[in-house]
Amino acid sequence: MRRRLQPTRLAVAGICVVVAAVLVAVVVVALGRHHAPGSPGRAGHPVAGSPARSGRLATGPLVPSAGALFGAWVEPTDGFTVGDEETSIAELERRLGRTLAIDQLYAQWSAPMPLAIARWDLRRGSIPMISWAGASTRLITSGKYDAQIRARALQLRALHGPVMLRWFAEMDGTFYRAEAGSPKSFIAAWRHIHNIFTSVGATNVIWVWCPTAANFSSGYAQRYYPGSNFVNWIGTDGYNWSPRMRGAPWLSFADIFSGFYRWGVSSGKPLLIGEYGVLEGAPGRKAAWFKQADQELRIRFPAIRAVIYFDSDHDNYDWRPTTSPTAFAAFRAFADDPYFRARPAA
């Protein structure tokens, strides 16, 4: 059951930053605009001269030649053994009629890496993305965990295939403040881990930096950026908490991710959504949300090259796409859109 704690904590972390998300939404609703500091323009539209507007999309490891990768974290229904997780992933893929391009996995700091599932993913053409966290950045930089970090790096190197590593996602959220420390401490720890992986030749590891979507408009998330030499993909996590979260407005995909996108396209890195989810509202509204997200990603957010859905039910927040027949039909159509049938580049 320890493997289950990490996704649960991520969901709680999202709740802790919902106040910021609500404040952002108020601006969106009231003004119809979502400005990043110093950046004019409408929500969701690329800034002038950006790669997305000029047609020059960022390239990098695993970035498809066209379209975007479609993935998910699939919470097992029966338990958290390797067999349980593989069964749940395979069942979602059977219902979707496709293999996930990215399979998100979670590992706590001192727990074993999910190597068996990662190997299974690679054998069937899916890219494992491991979300790994749970230690003080100050202690990491001090060298306390160097042996453990080196061992993990060697394990991932031995996969002999690409693996995305999403270290310390949502580091800017209030839930992780004690472990993440200051932006300076986080950056030092990120670079320390990255350098150890490089020193042992774990060049098959693709680094994904992933703060919360709510903190990009204020510029707070960007303070944790380790630098372009230490990051391959830039990601973010965001959710539509309405109607379950009291007082939360109903937010579209564009409402949630426009602030992230505006800054992300200027980075020159490929963008991804590390976690996203929508709850059931009025009948048909969740299905409409999926349909709108599909369209917005293709038309308004072309620099987002991968999306990973949070297929899970935690703390009475049921993000699963199967909460209603109409919702799943829309989710399946989303996954079947040729744009999201892209495969990772070699």
- CATH code of 213's domain: 3.20.20.80
- Report in angstroms the alpha-carbon separations of 25 from 31, 252, 280, 314: 10, 10, 19, 23
- Which helix (H) or strand (E) segment holds residue 330: the answer is helix 325-336
Note whether residue 67 is domain-resident.
yes
Domain count, the chain: 1
Note whether residue 346 is domain-resident.
no
Tens of pLDDT, residue by residue over 285-312, are: 999 999 999 999 999 999 999 999 999 9
Tens of pLDDT, residue by residue over 106-118, are: 999 999 999 999 9
Show the domain range for 192: 2-341
DSSP 113: P
336 pLDDT exceeds 50? yes
The token pair at 205 is 């590891």
- Block residue for tokens 């972390």: 13
For the segment 163-182, the average pLDDT, to the nearest whole number, is 96
Note whether residue 243 is domain-resident.
yes
Q: How much is the pLDDT for 108?
A: 95
Mean pLDDT for all residues in the chain? 87
Strand duo 205-209 + 163-167: pairing: parallel
Give the E-state strand segments of the chain in sequence order.
69-74, 102-108, 127-133, 163-167, 205-209, 233-240, 271-278, 304-311, 313-314, 317-318
pTM of the model: 0.85
For the segment 13-24, the average pLDDT, to the nearest whole number, is 39
Tens of pLDDT, residue by residue over 30-57, are: 333 333 322 222 233 333 334 554 457 8
For the segment 74-84, the average pLDDT, to the nearest whole number, is 85
For the segment 93-117, the average pLDDT, to the nearest whole number, is 97
Note whether residue 282 is domain-resident.
yes
Note whether residue 95 is domain-resident.
yes
Note whether residue 259 is domain-resident.
yes
- Map residue 38 onto helix, strand or coil: coil
